[in-house]
Every structure is written in structure tokens, then in C-alpha cells.
A and B are shown apart, each in its own frame.
Chain A
């Protein structure tokens, strides 16, 4: 468990940014990961007074506040209407309902864990991360960045563009994934991501006028398998992950192409 001296429930993002300039101060998400560390924190910065716990739908995008919990996203009718079961498939294996009622999307996005189902799912959609410093960057770009003292405010996902499906593989239910993968299609291009390698998900794209041409698509998957870097940890070896990547990509493709209504 971490130690914290002070607590600041901020009333503006400017206040939060100012406090977060100090290295020993930390922004609080859901706290599920932070509690596992032993950091000595000076001031805990709490954004929960800023109304960032809402999911809103505009004409062309879904805006998810950084304090929306993983469970909120999983059970949201707005999310389901726009993305079908995509987020349910991605989040449902993360620990348990109680954990997902605590863990926040902002905390997961900021942390960009190497095992993240959140990064691997958001990255194949047209997702932008709105930061308190004023910048808005794509999930893809944000995923590559080093940790800094900017703050995740909202997650913007473009509506209607991409249909997507998700698969993950775990040694036991509720554990961290051995490997995860997502696939999206917008009618012209395929976007594939393989994550938990155990490194953050990365997107590979392919021009694909005919998504049902599985021969071409499988060639693309084989290329991803050959070119992607995999690693070894306690859960699996890199050779195993490499083998598994092609299996999962084919499974997720089957889900995307064959099962209408699974992801819109």
C-alpha cells in the first residue's frame, strides 16, 4: 500500500495540472493499481469533483470521462448501441465485477500497462485522448509516449466508422492475459492490434477492399506474427505468444466477419 500525506479534491483541471507538476504528487484513478505499490506520495490529486464520470454521445463521437469505471463502459447502453459487445468482450475477464466497479478508464489509459486489455481495445478504434494540458492525441500515439505529468481528461471514440471484435487468452479466468488482440474494419482498411505481448498493443493496418477474402487477410496476419516483438514472462514464453498470436488473430477475424451484431 502507498502512503499519502495530503489529499486534494481539485475544483479545476488547472489546479490539478499545477499540483501534478511536483513529482511526488500523484493523480488518483480508481486506486486499484496504485495500492499495490509502496510509493510515498505527497499529495493525492482527486479529480472526482470534476464530473468526469460520465459517458456522453454527440453526433459523431462517444466521450468517456477519465473517471468512468470499466464496469460502467461494459454495461452502458450507449456503448452497446455503438460498439456492440466489443468492450464487453474486452473487459469482462478483468478480475471481477467489484474490481471493474473501481478501476477507471483514465487510470488504465494513463498507465498503458503491458498487459492492458483497455489499450488493445481502444487502439483499433478511432480513439483520441484528451489531455488536461490542451493536447488531444490518438490512442496509438499516446500508447508510445513516456509517462509525463499531463492528465487524461476524456477519451473520444469516433462513432460509426469501424466495426470491431476482441479476443484474449488467459491461463486462468480473471488473470492478466497471456495475449490479447483486436481487429477493426471500416470498409476499406483492417486495423489489427496484438497486446499483452507482454508489451502494449500496437496497430498494424492493411488496405482491404474485400474483408471476406480470408487468404489475403491471413497473409496480413502472418506478416504481423513475423514482424511483432514478443517477450517472455512468468505467464508464457515468447515462442508460445508468437504461436498464439496467429491463432487469436484468426479467431478474432472469424468473430468480426462471421458474426453480425457482435460488434457494429
Chain B
């Protein structure tokens, strides 16, 4: 099956097998931020945006990405760096393995939710597992980042 996919702004046309998952397809195009964590659709590590929505690239078949726009962390360098600094400042970045998927979901949340409460933040991000921290540092980073973005908008 031939698919046409836009990855981080660049269009690709490729022949893919019906059982190729989006994750492997993206990695074959050099998107190494997209990682396989659990293999059970659970950990959120493989999160990418498909038409602006966060999805698990380990569960979406590459054929389903035909005609869609995919964004990975490689395509959001500026935003990732900005939020990454907050994450590092709060000690939320430890082994770093879960960070790409987590950052992708935070960036999706910022777009989707307006002034989320703590509870809403937790609900949105609970599909991203981290085995180093206790999520407190991430929570602080997310809240400080949201404050920063809000102040930036008001300027």
C-alpha cells in the first residue's frame, strides 16, 4: 500500500506493509524521539500528533496515517526546548526516556485545554508513565510553563 504522509512539514510517499505501525514508519524516517516503551498501548512514550491530536504511534497503523499530518518532537524543537527547560529546572527530567512522549502530550494539552485545573492536567497526562519520578516535579514544571505561556499571551 502506498501512503502519502506529511511528517514535520515534509511530504513523504512510501510503500508500507499493512502491519507496519506508525512508530516504526516514523523511526525509519529518522524520527528517533519516537520510542517504544511498553508494547501494550499503555505508557505514552510513543506519543505523536496526528492532525494535531495526540495518539499512540505504537497502536496506529502506518496505513491509517495516509493523507494525514504527523508531528513528532523533531518538528517542535522550539516548543520542546522551551518546556524542556521548565522540566529540567524542576528535576522532572531524570533518565529522560519518557520525556519525548510526555512533552508531546503536554504540548497537545496546552493547545486543547484553556486554563486547566490541577485535576484536568493530571487527567490529561495520566497516560504518560514515568518510572523515575513521582510526577510531582513534572506537575510543577507543567504549572510553571502554563503560567509562563499565559503571561506571554497577555503581553
Q: Which residues of A contact B (CB under 8 A)?
A: 1-7, 9, 28, 30-32, 35-36, 41, 44, 46, 48, 71, 92, 95-99, 101-102, 173-174
Contacts and interface: CB of A to CB of B under 8 A. Distances in A.
B25 to A, nearest CB: 14
Contacts of B82: none
Given A102-B56, A173-B126, A96 B18 contact: no
A2 B44 contact: no
A215 B123 CA distance: 35
A9 B66 CA distance: 11
5 contacts: A4-B19, A7-B18, A44-B19, A44-B61, A174-B42
A31 B42 CA distance: 13
Nearest to A2: B19
Contacts, number: 80
Interface of A, helix, strand, loop or mixed by DSSP: mixed
Given A6-B18, A46-B63, A48-B64, A98 B44 contact: yes
Interface residues of B, number: 31
Contacts of B64: 31, 46, 48
Q: Which 6 A-B pairs have the closest CB atoms?
A: A96-B127, A7-B18, A4-B18, A4-B19, A98-B54, A32-B59
Interface string B22-48: 000000000000000001111010010
B21 interface: yes
B60 A96 contact: no
Nearest to B58: A35
A28 B19 CA distance: 11
Interface in B1-34: 1, 17-19, 21
Nearest to A9: B63
A98 B1 contact: no
